[in-house]
Structure formats: structure tokens, C-alpha cells
Structure 1
Amino acid sequence: MNIPAPRRHWHAPKHARYLGPHDDDAPLDVTLVLRRRGEAPPAAAWPLHPPMRRADFGARCGADPADLDRARDFARTHGLQETGCQPHRRALHLRGPAAALQRAFGVRLGHYQPEDGGAPFVGCAEAPALPEGVIAVLGLDRRPVARPQFRKPLAQPSRSYTPLQLGQLYGFPAGDGGGQGVAIIEFGGGYQESDLATYFQSLGLAKTPTVTAVSVAGGQNQPGGDADAEVMLDIEVAGALAPAAKFAVYFAPNTDQGFYEAISQAAHDDTHKPSVMSISWGGPEDSWTGASRDAMQSALQDAVALGVTVAVAAGDSGSSDGEDDGQPHVDFPASSPYALACGGTRLVANGSAINSETVWNETRANEGATGGGVSTAFPLPDWQQDAGVPRAPDGSAGRGVPDVAGDADPRTGYQVRVDGEDQVIGGTSAVAPLWAALLARLNQQLGAPLGDAHAAIYQIGGKAFRDVTVGDNGDYQAGTGWDACTGWGSPDGQTLLDALTALGGSSGSA
């Protein structure tokens, strides 16, 4: 018998106006995310725990065949058509008319209009009832879940840097990312190959990095909109600093279904085989439904088990993360304990030397500030126990954000090319691909993927970072050691490589 699972935290779409019921009976596609068979996979973590092989993952951590049978019986009972299944990713894809989906999952679908004037979307105001073995159904609610974390300066800045200059300033170790795959996750926009070729040639790169667009859940490489700035920034920053890596850009719709599918498909991609993932999109932690967060967590956990380090932008709206309730918030998926959360600094350099580096906070000038704070959704991880993370706003011991940092102030931003135009762009959006390129070089030099890098980074601590001790992001103040503005600080790349190498040697595994 199919016993519905308890309904999880859910809320009606925020900042959106209800327009009326969804009466269109055109088929909708949904994704059922199933629980794992057996125990959760251990995170790959340099130097002690090597990654699982993708070929072995399904048999150990995929969907239980009995759960899959129950989900298929549920679908047939409610007149839903199976359109695809990837048991190793625990994903079952179904299609059906809106009326059948509403009966199957006990929801009422409606049309909603975002307050910001965005396109209307289908959403639901209550949590779906889930069949046994299913942790989430994605695609019933199509509210936009993420925003790109880039900032353009309001006026032409007096200081800006190429990615190569920042790699030099941050002491990136030798290497070009050869042998590494880098996944870049996008939810809109696109790139033009001619722009990439022009940009990389302007930097003096001998070869344009290899970039492949991957369509996810109907998403496409579609240049011509505002999100192009995000896509081009991500590719150009990471590509300039790891030009021999193979880049795959996963384009998906900006929904919980699209976000889950993009991460899951990238993590399990046995063609492009990424060892690093860069995500520069996110939304306030409490804007996600519980089931959506659970599904995303399962995909991120897959990624780190498979040896993929996931670098995620921490947000560009300070400690409030853009919320208007007067309380501090952190951004998800940066707040996930499986994400390497990347905060932002303001960097002032003279030639090849850094003069000063402070917390990025240009709130008074309406030019953003680094995200950072303490999660109310995820408890304090073991590797963060001694970092001095303050209590979460609800008084609990939560995961501290960010872990690391890099230049993000649009007034000291990155020189990039977007849609045929040279521009300067900042934001923690730039820090995630900066760290993705550094991670690719580290993997190349170590000869093995870092996977979940948290335990190693927190063990190394401040020894391999430029500690940023001046500034705040609103509710949190920078200080010595880890803080909720810039984490451990910006990288000293070669020192970080040396420290990781020493860890490997001390474990007897390198």
C-alpha cells in the first residue's frame, strides 16, 4: 500500500500575486526524487577518502528497486506517464495533465505574478503528499528559485583586474587545469563562442578553452538577455585561469526542478566527468521549500561523494541576503555543508602586490555587499566546530557561511567581455569560478580530486589564506581567523597547495 510521507515545510510563493487557479490541462512534466538505497555515501575528502566511481554509484546509492516499483505503481494508478528514469540518480520523470497531478499529489495549482514584473508561473500553496520512498516531487511549483550573484558597477571603476592578474595576486600555483573537468551551472542567458575566442585571445592565451553547452530539462544556451553577464563572467574567469580544463555549461530552467536536475546531471555526467562545479546562483535559505532543499542536498551529496568540489557564491546583498524582515539570512545552496561557500572582498593592488583587502560592503552606495552568516537549516558541521561560528538567529548552532573568499567588489571588479562589449563585473558570482579554477589547478597538481574540501581547509586554517580582518557585511564583523564575512579569507594558492600536499604525505596516501 502507498502510504504518503509526512508533508514538509512549504510556503506560498513569496513576493508574488495569486492570479487564479491553473485551469490549463496541457501536460506538465515533473521529477520524483527517490530516497537512497542503503546508507548515505561518504564524501570524498582529500587525502583520506577517495571518490566513488560513477559506474558503481547506482548499485550502492541509487534508488531502491522496490521504491521505484512503488513509484511506478503510483504513477499508473493516477494516470501519469513515465517519460524517463535514471535509477542511479534516483530520478523518475512523469508527465500528466494538471488535473491528474493535482489529484495524485493533493495540491491546487495556481498562476502567480512576481512583484518584480517577471513572467507569470505555475505554483502551489501547499506541500505535495508524497508516496512512500519519494523525498520530493519537483515541477509542480515553477516559481523562480535563484538569482545570479553578479554586480555591475554604477560608474566606471578606477580599479579592475583581469582573471590572470587576480591569479597572480592570489599566488595561484603553476598549472593550467589539464586533465580536469569543470561544470558551470546556469539558469538563463548564454554565451557566444566568438566572444569567448576574442576575450581569451586578448589575454594572450595560446588556446581558447574547450566549452560545451549541455541542455538540462529544456534549458538552452540562449544569449541575448541580462543573464549573459553571469554566464560569460563564469566561463571567462574560470577559463582564463584553467585554460586546459574541459568546461561543460549546464543550462536549466530557473526552478527547483531545473536546479536539482542541473546539479544531479553534472555530478553524474560520465561524459564530461567534472571534478569541480561552479554555481553563481542562489536564493535566501528560507525561500526554498523543505522538499526542494532536501532534493538539492541529495544531489550535492552525490557530487562530493563522486569527488566533485562544489564552489558556490555566498550572495551579494549582505547579511540580510536581500530579505526585508530585519533579520540576517544566508543564501542557499551556499549554506549547504556540501558547498564551498565563496564570500567577497574589496581588493586594492599595486602591480603584483596587494595593498589592502577588506570585506566587500558598498551598501551605502547601493553596490552590494558580501553574503555571510549562520544557517538555520543546517547544523554546525564537525569540521567547523572549532572555527568560532556564532549562534544562528534562532539561537541554534548552525553552519557558518562563507568558507573562503576573493575579490568581489564591482568597484574593484573583473574585466570580462559580454555580448561583444568589454565590461567590468563584480559580485560573489565571480568568486565561485575563481575558486573553481584554483581547485582545478590544485587537483591537477595533487593528482587526485579534493572532493569535499572542508575538512582539509578547516584543518589547515588561516595558514594558507590572506586573513581579511577589516569590515562588515551588516550584522557580522570581520576578525582574526574565520568570520561570517569572508570565511578564512582569500587564497594564498601555492601555500594552500603545499599544505594540502603535506596533509597527503602525513596520511601516507600521497
Structure 2
Amino acid sequence: MTDDDHVVLSAHTSRPWLPERPLDASPVPGSTARVSLLLRRRAPLPHQLVQTPAVISNRELAERFGADPADIALVEGTLGRHGLRTVQVDHESRLLTVEGPLSALAEVFGSRIRLYEGEDPFRPGPVRYRRHLGEVLLPAELDGIVMSVVGLGTQPVARPEFHVPDDEPRITYSAVELGRLYRFPASHDGTGQRLAVVSLGGMCRPDDLDGYFRSLGLATPDITHVSVDGAPVTPQSGPATRFDLEVTLDLQIAGALAPGATILNYVTRNNGQGILLALKAAVHATPSPTVISLSWGSPEITWSGQLALAVHDLLEDAAALGITVCAASGDSGSTSGMPDGAPHVNYPASDPYVLACGGTTLLADPATNVIHAETAWNTGAFSATGGGVSGVFGLPEWQATVDVPVRSDSGEPGRGVPDVAANADNRTGYRVRLGGTEICVGGTSAATPLWAALICRVTQSLERPLGLLQPLIYRDLQAEVVTTGFRDVVAGDNGTYTARPGWDPNTGLGSPHGEDLLEVLHRRVAEA
């Protein structure tokens, strides 16, 4: 192909956020690789399907807003002529995956591909990966049909958002104790709901699950592990490591707080295509999950435009299907750990189709169910709740009245992060079981499955899915006004931003008062 045969699909490539070095070796040109292409919708999704509790079925989504068969045929034919073979087509998600020699992929998409070595934050030791450099191009006849190409690079994308204490924790809580402190509706346990977890690495050992739930007086919940893109789901021999902790704490917290729910753990690889395919599997599962929990992320600025666009599109599908998606706002304060010291927020938490979960420091007495104090979590620059203003997404209409700060670099409005919060301080952490030992862990990774479990219990009572929760919980709000259904957190900071009455860029609307929130949602869903 010549340059005249191509159009620029995107000039926005990922920015490294972990130390890495280029390798002298080049990818083997004949080696086979796969990429996934996102195709355009037949028609835009109507506003009422994503911004209200209205729900569409998987079949209707595919028929009305899925991929056009003519578009699929054109893409398959065009790429087939250049030596790429279609291995999977999904009309509903509009994802088409093709396979071929790396040299053919580089030629078709106009990419320079180089090998690097860096770190995968989910697994110990160095990892080698491909990174594509420069613009992503597209055969000209596919212009306007293919929206995104994911998989040319295989670099790690996200990090787990958990923290273990550096010394003896100040106080620890079981997940069940936190459910009582946050007044989770006691008459509901998530029965009939499906809670999906997307795991980017690590394993959870059955002995740890059984021992953990036995210590709480609970039966081990129904957990199904689903391999995505060939990722292993069977624990390896040897002792558990802290890299197994993310998936372990997700499943244990979710299972303890929604013990009646069915839990599906989608295990994938920590790269763009792995994340995209796992989200596709969870969002477009039949039956649809009630909620999806994402306890990972990384600064918005480090995501490629190709991957972020494709993920955002899947999250829009989730809202239309009535699925609530929760994601961790991050554990590195207002900078999200970026070395420039400027404010940044995590993606996917910053996506307006995601319920972003921030973190607090909770001081309470589980014996009496009395909360003595709750503040924004901040024990250092790399141990604090993430939060701030998106540099990618504009201000959603449901946040228009809560006084979200403008972007520090441009003075323009943007989506405020987080929406909600819960205990996340590693000094006031959650008791979980890893490698046969009880340990303490904190982080917005822990607050995220807590919120996912609460949504399962609330949905059980409502007897209908919630989908995008923000238009319901932000409704009729004013700046510096306490929101019914939440414990307002008015003290502390995360670096750049200071907590205040009402919504703030540390803890959002606050931590949950589950019983009051359920009452509010019953009323607002009926009004919608």
C-alpha cells in the first residue's frame, strides 16, 4: 500500500507511564498477531437509553445499533486482500478481530512496530512487548467505517489500585462490618444478580476463598472464572504473591457483601486488546450482568486514543443494556502518579459512563456500628484517593450544578472524578485472606467491589437494573449541599483538591448510606 491509499485514523498514541527501554531486536516480520477493529454503529444510541433507567435487550442492540452486515463484508474483503484473516465477528459489540503476519498488519495500518522491555504492574519481573509508533493509518476505503484499531501494541495498560500497610494498620474491618457501618440494606443479599469482575492478572486460590468466607460464617459464593484471549485462570503452584492480591480482594469483598449474587471473574491480559475483549465479554454476556467492577486504571494521558475510544464505546453499550460499571479512581492522589506533578485523573474511572469510586479514611466501631470520623484518604503523594477533572471528557449534564473545578491547564470545564467513595486507607483497611494468611489491604480497588456489591443489593430490591447511576444520584443537586443517601466527607485533601460540603474531587458525593440510598433510588426510578 502507498500513503495515497491510507487515511489517518488517529495520531494519538499511548504515552509510557512505566520505565521502559527499547530493545535492539525487532519483531519477527512473519510472526502472527491479532488486532480488533471497532466498526461504526448503524445508528447513534438514543439519549434515553444511556442517560435514564431505560433498558434495551442484547438482541435489539445488535439489530438497531450494531454493525451493518455490509460494513462487515467490506472490512473483511478489504483486509482479506492484504493477507489478514477474520477470526471473530460480533455484530452486537461491532468488534471484528483479524489475524495475520505482523509485517502485513504493519503495512495495512501504516505502523512502525518496535520491541520494548518494561514492567507489568500485575506481575513481578520484566515483560517484553510491542509498541506501535506514530500515527495509526487505515485503508482509504474503510474511512468512516472502522472507528478504532486495537492490538498493534501489547504494552501493559493499567495498574492495580490497592495498597498494603507499610507498618501495623491503625484499625481493620471485615467486609461484612463495613456493610453494616455503611448501612447496606440488610433484607437483601444480591440474590438473582450477576456481578462481573474484570481481572488483568493474578490468581485466586480456592483455599483462600473457602477459608475467607468460612471465617465470616458465609458459604463460598457462586464464582465462575472466564478466560479471555487465552489468559490462564488456574492458579500456579507455589505461594501466593501480592500480584494475586487484586483478584483475591475483589472476589472476597464482592462475595462477602453480595453473598447471594453470582460472580463472574473475567481473566485477561494487561494490554489493550486483552482489556477490550474482556470488557466486551462482560458487557455483552447473556444474561447481562447487574454491575461490572474494574479495580484498575492508569492516568488518562497514558491511554492511546484508539483504545480509549473503543472502551468508551463498550461502556456506552453497558449503559444502554442497564449495566452499571464501577471503576477505581486511583491511589496516587491528584497527580495520578504522573511525574510532572500536574493534576491528572485515572481512566476508565474518568469515563462519564463509569461510576468512579474514590477513597476515604474511616474510623468507626464495628461493635456498635458507630462511625466516629471519615475523611478523604491521604497518607502521602502515592497513597491518596485519586480525583480531579478529566482532560478528555467534557462536563456531563448531570454534574452541571455541583461546581466541578475547571481544568488546571486550560480553564475549560470537564468531567469531575470521583462520583462516590468508601473506605480505602491502607491503615484502616479490609481484612482479606491471601496464601492462607489474613492480611490488611486498602485502596480504591477495595472501594470499587464494595460499591458493586451495594448496587447488586439495591437492584435486587428495585427488581430492575439501574444502568448509568449518575443521572439518578446527581439529580436536583446543588453545590455544597449534602446528598441524601450519602455520608458527606468534608475534611481532608488529595493534594490539589480539598474536601468540602457536597460533591468534591476527593470523595465525590461521599460514602454510602445504603438504606437511605435505596429509598432515594426507589423514588427516582419510579419518577424516571
TM-score, with structure 1 as normaliser:
0.95
1:123 aligns to 2:131 (yes or no): yes
* Matching residue of 1:170: 182
Which of 318, 323, 327 is 1:308 aligned to?
323
**Runs of 5+ in structure 2 lacking a partner?**
478-482
1:67 aligns to 2:71 (yes or no): yes
Cα separation, partners in 2 of 1:115 and 1:170, compared to 1, 3 Å:
closer
Q: Distance in 2 between matches of 1:465 and 1:45?
A: 24
How high is the sequence identity, in percent, across the aligned residues?
44
Shift of 1:161: 0.2
Q: Distance in 1 between matches of 2:5 and 2:470?
A: 39
Q: Does the 8 A contact of 2:388 with 2:497 survive in 1?
A: yes
* Matching residue of 2:480: none
Secondary structure of 2:117's match? strand
Secondary structure of 1:463's match? coil
* Matching residue of 1:187: 200
Which of 279, 291, 294 is 2:294 aligned to?
279
Shift of 1:2: 7.6
Cα separation, partners in 2 of 1:12 and 1:331, compared to 1, 3 Å:
closer
Which of 457, 471, 483 is 1:441 aligned to?
457
Secondary structure of 1:294's match? helix
Q: Does the 8 A contact of 2:165 with 2:440 survive in 1?
A: yes
Q: Distance in 2 between matches of 1:194 and 1:200?
A: 10
1:248 aligns to 2:260 (yes or no): no
Q: Does the 8 A contact of 1:374 with 1:392 survive in 2?
A: yes
Per-residue CA distance 1:142-182 (angstroms, 9 max, x = gap) = 11010000001111213000001000000111211011000
Amino acid at match of 1:349: A
Q: Distance in 2 between matches of 1:463 and 1:158?
A: 30
Q: Distance in 1 between matches of 2:330 and 2:460?
A: 28
* Matching residue of 1:146: 158
Cα separation, partners in 2 of 1:444 and 1:460, compared to 1, 3 Å:
farther
* Matching residue of 1:420: 436
Shift of 1:217: 1.1
* Matching residue of 1:382: 397
Shift of 1:391: 0.2
Shift of 1:120: 1.4
Alignment of 1:230-249 (within 5 A): 230-249=246-265
1:356 aligns to 2:369 (yes or no): no
Secondary structure of 2:279's match? helix
Q: Cα RMSD (Å) of the superposition?
A: 1.8
More moved, 327-336 vs 188-197: 188-197
Cα separation, partners in 2 of 1:31 and 1:110, compared to 1, 3 Å:
same
Q: Distance in 2 between matches of 1:188 and 1:466?
A: 33
Shift of 1:45: 6.4
Q: Distance in 2 between matches of 1:353 and 1:432?
A: 22
Aligned pair count? Answer: 502
Q: Does the 8 A contact of 2:10 with 2:305 survive in 1?
A: no
Cα separation, partners in 2 of 1:35 and 1:243, compared to 1, 3 Å:
same
1:108 aligns to 2:108 (yes or no): no
1:451 aligns to 2:467 (yes or no): yes
Alignment of 1:16-415 (within 5 A): 16-20=20-24, 21-42=26-47, 44=49, 48-114=52-118, 118-130=126-138, 131-132=142-143, 133-174=145-186, 175-205=188-218, 207-223=219-235, 224-271=240-287, 273-350=288-365, 351=367, 352-363=369-380, 368-393=383-408, 394-415=410-431
Q: Does the 8 A contact of 1:142 with 1:256 survive in 2?
A: yes
TM-score, with structure 2 as normaliser:
0.92
Q: Does the 8 A contact of 1:264 with 1:300 survive in 2?
A: no
Cα separation, partners in 2 of 1:435 and 1:49, compared to 1, 3 Å:
closer
Amino acid at match of 1:119: V
Q: Distance in 2 between matches of 1:100 and 1:504?
A: 51
Shift of 1:502: 1.6
Secondary structure of 2:189's match? coil
Q: Distance in 1 between matches of 2:526 and 2:129?
A: 53
Q: Does the 8 A contact of 1:264 with 1:303 survive in 2?
A: no
Shift of 1:138: 1.2
Q: Does the 8 A contact of 2:58 with 2:92 survive in 1?
A: no
Q: Distance in 2 between matches of 1:30 and 1:225?
A: 31
